[in-house]
Chain A
Amino acid sequence: MAFLEVNGIQKSFGKNEVLKNVGFSMEKGEVLAIIGSSGSGKTTLLRCLNFLERADSGSFSVDGEELFNAEKTYTDKEKREKRLRFGLVFQQFNLFPQYTVLKNVSLARELLETDGKKLAKDEKRRIFKEIEDNSRQLLATVGLAEKAGDYPCNLSGGQQQRVAIARALALSPDILCFDEPTSALDPELTGEVLRVIRELKSTDRTMIVVTHEMNFARGVADKVIFMANGVIEEEGTPDEVFGNPKSPRTKAFLEKSLENI
């Protein structure tokens, strides 16, 4: 059984069927790139995996454990536990503006490990210290150690997105998802974000990247999925999909994408 198994995901918004029976799988340590034109369902798929949308039917499992099955209902608490298997980096970063960069990274873990729990002061201080050290380390990983005390509004878009990556890593997700992580960035800033994702790949992090950066998908992904109109039109290695696309739709999409470069 593969590390991530996604089966028969179907999702409609009103009468608009956005995902039609989508299924795929990936192995641990792999990078999966999902490409396709706007409205093809890529983002919705990612949002279903992160429990931001509820699929109408289908299921998915990580490491053999079923996380979601449309036939079951889950309490908020169950959902919270399950969604921590995934991390999500948003197109618009969505950093918390009132907190420093460091606090943005550490907040969720602090709440998870201390909020609502009766802890001795020493114990609490020890946990906070450990989380802070870990958060600083993560900031160093994305090359922003010296920005720990700054506020997001004083950072460039590329730096903000790198903070968002560190924030998503803070909870050690099994699979890190990126929803068009560079689409809100000026071209000269996309490089620094893609570099961080590349570095994460070298540490064998399992990642799903929804992207419009074809060169990046080709160069970094182990596997590429091309989506069109809510279905997986084509999937394979980058060489297969980019070098020798079988579906005429894929061919047309790739030709158009390359035209724009």
Chain B
Amino acid sequence: MSFLEVTAQLANGFLTTLLIFGITLVCSLPLGLLITFGSMSKIPPIKWLVKTFVWIIRGTPLMLQIIIVFYGPGLIFGWDSLPRLAAVLVAFVINYSCYFSEIYRGGIESIPKGQYEAGQVLGMTKKQIFFKIVLFQVIKRIVPPMGNEIITLVKDTSLARVIMVVELVQAAQQIVAQKAIIWPMFYIGAFYLLFSGLLTILLNRVEKKLNYYHS
């Protein structure tokens, strides 16, 4: 099998990797904020329900969660399972929303009380205070930890192969198994490195852009 053929086949798997990455990111960013509001809720039942949920999701391996989302509904309720990729996406979105929500919470709690009070005495509504004053400052503060989590997501996508979704690692494994060559397995490292390198550059740019002020 030639280098180009291997590359083409791996690129196919890499597309799935990118898809899992992209959809997880796009869905988890807003969903995470919703979970944050839940875990910071002033209504105790909501707060504790959400906190327990976050504890369970953060306290168990993502690999296990993927398996549960895929096989669970069939075993427990006798339902048809979700398509494999859909099951992976559901597990990833839930998992990453919970991690993001904790980063958001940390960011929100780090904003001094005085910022809220300044908005309050100026007659702003709670919504205005959050969206016009607090949110931007939170974003600036959480870019570094979010960057960390986003880079981790790039590599976590490889867990999808546990239910036979052909992402990058699985694509390499298939070649290794079928053609009895090992080097494609090492080669995929370059894909991950290149992609996370690009993301690092992008995140640095965002960080720099937000650095026009310091507080």
Contacts and interface: CB of A to CB of B under 8 A. Distances in A.
Interface residues of A, number: 29
A184 B122 CA distance: 21
Interface string A167-182: 1100100000000000
B137 interface: yes
Contacts of A51: 120-121
A94 B124 CA distance: 15
B4 to A, nearest CB: 50
Interface in B118-174: 118-126, 128, 132-133, 136-137, 140
A97 B215 contact: yes
Contacts of A115: 128
A52 B121 contact: yes
Nearest to B215: A97
Contacts of A81: 123
Residues of B contacting A: mostly: helix
B110 interface: no
A86 interface: yes
Contact of B123 (A83, A92, A95): A83
B114 interface: yes
Interface in A51-88: 51-52, 76, 80-81, 83-84, 86-88
A152 B212 CA distance: 11
Contacts of B136: 98
Given A94-B115, A96-B133, A115-B128, A171 B122 contact: yes
A2 interface: no
Most central of B114, B122, B124 by chain A CB within 10 Å: B122
Nearest to B133: A96
Contacts of B133: 96
Contacts of B126: 76
Interface string A145-189: 000000111000000000000011001000000000000000000
Interface stretch (A105-113, A193-201, A212-220): A105-113
In which size bucket is the chain B interface? Answer: 20 to 34
Given A83-B120, A107-B132, A153-B215, A94 B125 contact: no
A88 B119 CA distance: 11
A94 B122 CA distance: 12
B213 interface: yes
Interface string B34-61: 0000000000000000000000000000
Nearest to B137: A98
B109 interface: no
Contact of B122 (A92, A152, A167): A167
Contacts of B122: 107-108, 167-168, 171
Contact of B120 (A52, A87, A167): A52
A168 B123 CA distance: 11
Contacts of A167: 122
B117 A94 contact: yes
A226 interface: no
B123 A96 contact: no
A180 B119 CA distance: 19
B215 A90 contact: no
Contact of B214 (A50, A92, A96, A97): A97
Contacts of A50: 121
16 contacts: A50-B121, A52-B120, A83-B121, A83-B123, A92-B112, A94-B112, A94-B115, A94-B118, A97-B137, A97-B214, A98-B213, A107-B132, A115-B128, A153-B213, A153-B214, A168-B121
Q: Please name the 3 residue pairs, one residue from A and one from B, whose CB atoms are nearest each other, closest first.
A: A108-B122, A94-B114, A94-B118
